[in-house]
């Protein structure tokens, strides 16, 4: 049980190790009541391609980062509050058998474990942490989550007009609402979406814009996006916070099984 590890020396030591591995690229993680529940490498589906990321499950947050040196040095630290996380198992096609979605208000993505057993372990531990958190705080699970972005290479033509072919010049854009890959003209509208854009309207496809406009005729949240000329605009939001960068030193191919420090069976 997680609570048994609070205030133990072993827990404090493990958290200090994690802090150490992120060094100055991370934030202090040792706060009262926090427990490191488990850790391991998962494959994260990024915009361009799948990448190995080191994940740390705490009883209140999920932390992940790029692996610079396996078990020694990580950077590009991301922190996800578990309170807003929803998990969704992927199992339809064989490729996704060991995968699941981690959905949050600000970003959602798919991860894959090496085996189905490891997937079960991860999902069970994360789910338990979320349940415990919500029970303690008395809060309701968050219902609105960011779209999972369709990877770039899954769309050679615009998923909205089905005509526009993507090239170096005709760049891909992602609808922040549904996650589809669309061309510029098919995503020249913006909407205010909860948790995204830091108070600014974000890019959506015409279909999502139309749907939202119909729902909220009296108080439209959409704004025109005609002023947008910046070609790099699509690099805002989603997966782009440096998370897609490859860690040059990470050449390790060996697989380490995840470690969990609290067993769900002991209650």
Indicate the SS3 state at residue 168: coil
Neighbours of 24 (CB within 10 A): 6
Q: Rg of the chain's alpha carbons, rounded to an integer?
A: 20
Give the binding-site size for Zn ion (rule: CB under 5 A). Answer: 11
Task: Tell which positions 147-186 bind Zn ion, by CB under 5 A.
Answer: 158, 160-161, 164, 175, 177-178, 183, 186
CA 186/CA 183 separation, integer angstroms? 5
For Zn ion, give the closer residue by CB, 110 or 158. Answer: 158
User: What does the chain come to in residues?
Assistant: 267
- Binding of Zn ion at residue 205 (CB under 5 A)? yes
- Write down the least CB distance from residue 215 to Zn ion, Å: 14
- Binding of Zn ion at residue 193 (CB under 5 A)? no
Number of H helices, E strands in the chain: 3, 13
- The CA-CA-CA angle for residues 231, 194, 43, to 5°, reads 70
User: Which span (123-131, 189-197, 200-208, 221-229) binds Zn ion, by CB under 5 A?
Assistant: 200-208
For Zn ion, give the closer residue by CB, 140 or 163. Answer: 163
- Binding of Zn ion at residue 191 (CB under 5 A)? no
For Zn ion, give the closer residue by CB, 2 or 205. Answer: 205
Indicate the SS3 state at residue 78: strand
Residues that bind Zn ion in the complex, under the rule CB under 5 A: 158, 160-161, 164, 175, 177-178, 183, 186, 205, 208
């Amino acid at each position: 049980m997680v609570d048994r590890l609070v205030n133990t020396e072993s827990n404090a030591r493990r958290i200090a190790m994690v802090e150490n591995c992120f060094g100055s690229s991370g934030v202090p993680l040792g706060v009262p009541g926090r427990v490191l529940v488990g850790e391991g490498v998962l494959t994260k589906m990024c915009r361009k391609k799948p990448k190995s990321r080191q994940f740390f499950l705490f009883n209140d947050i999920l932390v992940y980062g790029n692996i610079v040196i396996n078990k020694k040095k990580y950077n590009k630290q991301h922190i996800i509050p578990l309170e807003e996380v929803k998990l969704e198992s992927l199992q339809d096609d064989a490729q996704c058998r060991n995968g699941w979605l981690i959905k949050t208000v600000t970003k959602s993505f798919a991860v894959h474990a090496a085996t189905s057993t490891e997937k079960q372990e991860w999902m069970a531990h994360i789910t338990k942490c979320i349940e415990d958190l919500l029970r303690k705080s008395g809060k309701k699970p968050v219902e609105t989550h960011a779209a999972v972005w369709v990877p770039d290479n899954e769309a050679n033509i615009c998923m909205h007009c089905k005509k526009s072919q993507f090239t170096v010049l005709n760049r891909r854009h992602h609808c922040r609402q549904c996650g589809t890959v669309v061309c510029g003209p098919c995503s020249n509208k913006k909407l205010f979406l909860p948790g995204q854009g830091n108070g600014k309207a974000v890019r959506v496809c015409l279909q999502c814009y139309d749907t939202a406009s119909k729902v909220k005729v009296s108080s439209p949240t959409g704004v025109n996006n005609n002023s947008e000329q910046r070609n790099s605009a699509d690099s805002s939001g989603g997966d782009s916070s440096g998370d897609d960068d490859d860690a040059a030193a990470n050449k390790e191919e060996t697989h380490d099984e995840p470690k969990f420090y609290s067993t769900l069976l002991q209650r």
